[in-house]
């Protein structure tokens, strides 16, 4: 009798567990993809804690082979679980998961198709967005702009989620690893998720720095010359530990 009750409980638990995991599209999730998804979710949650986004604004993606894992549209990051893996191929066809990918998918895919990016971070950070409304490019107030390839351009405004916005972004990203998006936010990429996230944080900090310095009445911040930026950029290529 006791064994029959345990068997019934086991069957019930199995049915409930199955209901908790959405039916996936396409194939199953590989180990590398599962690890990448965990890192992606952690980065998305960190964006909220670091004040780079509000609610479900902004998005993160990671490329694993020819699959792009991306945050889903409109789902709070603290609710994402391993069962919510969302992935598309480089043409935007969904190959993993049941949740709709972020509405900014065209921007992410445009970056992966044209660069060596393995991760992309897009945020609506306050200072970066404020600067995007004021100037055509972030004034060279700090040498860390060299880590992004030089002066950070502002992509012209276009409606979010459109191919037009993705095209504007690509022009602003030419020879750069980050840019601002007019009246919208910013986007950065890297060869790792940590690198892309660090570039996002650095760009937001530089925007805050310029806004702070330029707000002093009767004063204008000193800016770095093109030659100084080029020298800093070259030196930054060898920054950090080797091996």
HSE-CB at 23 with a 13 A cutoff on CA atoms is 0
Cβ distance 25 to 87 under 8 Å? Answer: no
Distance of CA 12 to the CA centre of its chain: 40
Phi, psi of 178 (to 5 degrees): -165, 150
Helix, strand, or coil (residue 159): coil
What's the rounded Cα separation, in Å, for the pair 20 and 55? 24
Distance of CA 32 to the CA centre of its chain: 19
Residue 27 is classified by DSSP as S
List the Cα angle 130/102/164 in 5-degree steps.
65
What's the rounded Cα separation, in Å, for the pair 170 and 162? 13
Active site residue 104: yes
Catalytic residue of the set 3, 11, 33, 104? 104
Residues labelled as active-site residues:
104
């Amino acid at each position: 009798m006791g064994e029959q009750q345990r068997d019934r409980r086991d069957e019930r638990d199995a049915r409930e567990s199955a209901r908790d995991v959405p039916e996936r599209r396409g194939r199953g999730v590989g180990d590398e993809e599962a690890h990448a998804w965990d890192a992606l979710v952690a980065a998305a949650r960190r964006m909220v804690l670091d004040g780079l986004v509000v609610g479900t604004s902004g998005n993160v993606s990671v490329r694993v082979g020819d699959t792009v894992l991306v945050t889903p549209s409109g789902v709070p990051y603290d609710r994402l679980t391993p069962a919510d893996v969302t992935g598309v191929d480089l043409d935007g066809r969904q190959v993993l998961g049941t949740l709709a990918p972020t509405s900014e998918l065209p921007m992410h895919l445009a970056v992966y198709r044209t660069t060596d990016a393995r991760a992309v971070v897009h945020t609506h950070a306050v200072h970066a967005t404020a600067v995007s409304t004021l100037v055509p490019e972030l004034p060279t107030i700090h040498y860390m702009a060299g880590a992004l390839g030089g002066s950070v351009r502002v992509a012209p405004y276009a409606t979010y989620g459109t191919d037009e916005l993705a095209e504007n972004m690509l022009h602003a990203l030419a020879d750069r690893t980050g840019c601002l998006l007019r009246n919208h936010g910013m986007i950065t990429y890297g060869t790792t998720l940590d690198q892309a996230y660090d570039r996002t944080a650095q760009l937001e900090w530089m925007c805050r720095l310029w806004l702070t310095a330029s707000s002093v009445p009767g004063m204008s911040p000193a800016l770095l010359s093109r030659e100084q930026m080029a020298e800093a950029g070259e030196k930054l290529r060898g920054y950090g530990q080797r091996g």
